[in-house]
Structure 1
Amino acid sequence: MTARLDTLAAPWRHEEDIKKSRFLAQAAPIGSPDEALAWFSAVSDVSATHNCWAYRIGDAYRFNDDGEPGGTAGRPILQAIDGQGYDRVAVVVTRWYGGIKLGAGGLVRAYGGAAAECLRLAPRLPIVATGHLVMHCEFADLAIVTARLRDMGATVEREIFTADGAELDVSAPLDDLDAIAARVIDLSRGKIRPRRP
């Protein structure tokens, strides 16, 4: 069994001062690497000393130290994302230098700690694996079937009308697909036979 992963329910911010340097961690839910890079550009402060970042989307990840010594900023941010059990998340930690050097270990703790605390405080949203069912539904059953599908948490992704009804492509949480299929079979008295594509 794989560990449950979450994404962010909304963007979040956390700020802290460490030895006179100000660190602002910002996190956001993202759907693609391009979206992450665009978000980094939008929220990074060009007047700051450093804007270090990382993102994780499934097996895709990337991080950037933005001028800090290699491995002291971007990688600890990525480790904070992974350590907090997040996916589809981007985090940027902006630093305004306060005149006291932190050293490599201090930088790792500061960047990773600010990112981890931001993610720990942020509102979480579970990532639910979804699957699909396809089915042919006659016109006489279409309204009741689509209403019951909605009641069961399913979404009709596509509806293609035919001469005698509609072909439905339905998405729902993967764990619920068998129960939904059984309910549709019962509801239609066996006329509708949902199947996985």
Structure 2
Amino acid sequence: MPYTLSGFCEYREEIRKSRFITLAGPITSPADAQAFIEQHSDLNATHNCWAWKLGAQYRSNDDGEPGGTAGRPILAAIEAQACDQVAVLVIRWYGGIQLGTGGLARAYGGGANKCLQSAEKIALISRTQVSCACAFAELALVKLRVAELGGLVIEETFTANGVDLQLAVGEEQIDHLQRLLADLSRGRILLQR
């Protein structure tokens, strides 16, 4: 199951006099990823290497480090931690001691891995959109049942007879939610795909 981050996280370490700061955060689009990288990059640092993954889309950048020693190991760490919709930036200040290509890959990939391991994660659930209508008096209980099953209320439209709801619910939860709502309303509330 893929995960995203609940918020921003950071990991710092020093390797052979070079300082590394790893920053990671959730993204929802390639533009989000670019904004995250631009906002957190330090122009005074020697290198600002990054990678992001958003579904089937992904990008990485070595920012002057030897090819494949920074961006790809960061991307590999994102995938190793089963993360998606995540951007990771590793900022390096060179300390005067060469790390070699293997050392660079371990430093960048290891920093990204440790940062993502310590981050608070949220499971990404694939949801199906469904709709239903309920009475005003039932609204609070309907919302509660949807939330208990990890669903979301996308839209509420108040009408003369009650409330029309657009919901997003995990595919495997739809039948269970239908039973709960039928019990709640004596069979009046029906989910429609």
Identify whether the pair has TM-score above 0.5, normalized to the shorter chain: yes
Which blocks of at least 5 consecutive residues in structure 2 are unaligned?
none
% identical equivalent positions = 47
SS, match of residue 69 in structure 1: coil
Instruction: Provide the alpha-carbon RMSD of the alignment.
Output: 1.7
Residue 142 (str. 1) matches residue 136 (str. 2)? yes
Offset from partner CA, 1:13-56 (integer Å, 9 cap, x none): 11111111111111111111101100100101000000000001
SS, match of residue 35 in structure 1: helix
Offset, 1:164: 4.2
Residue 170 (str. 1) matches residue 163 (str. 2)? no
Q: Give me the TM-score of the superposition, normalised by structure 1.
A: 0.88
SS, match of residue 83 in structure 2: coil
Offset from partner CA, 1:131-174 (integer Å, 9 cap, x none): 2221234xxx2321x21222211443223355544432122343
Offset, 1:99: 0.9
Distance across 2 between alignment mates of 1:9 and 1:156: 19
Q: Summarize the alignment of residues 114-193 of structure 1 with structure 2, pairs less than 5 Å apart.
A: 114-137=111-134, 141-144=135-138, 146-152=139-145, 153=147, 154-162=151-159, 164-193=161-190
Residue 77 of structure 1 corresponds to which residue in structure 2?
74
Q: Give me the TM-score of the superposition, normalised by structure 2.
A: 0.90
How many equivalent pairs are there? Answer: 189
Distance across 1 between alignment mates of 2:142 and 2:189: 13
The equivalent position to 1:105 in structure 2, one of 95, 102, 122, is 102
Which blocks of at least 5 consecutive residues in structure 1 are unaligned?
none
Misfit runs of 4+, over 6 Å: none
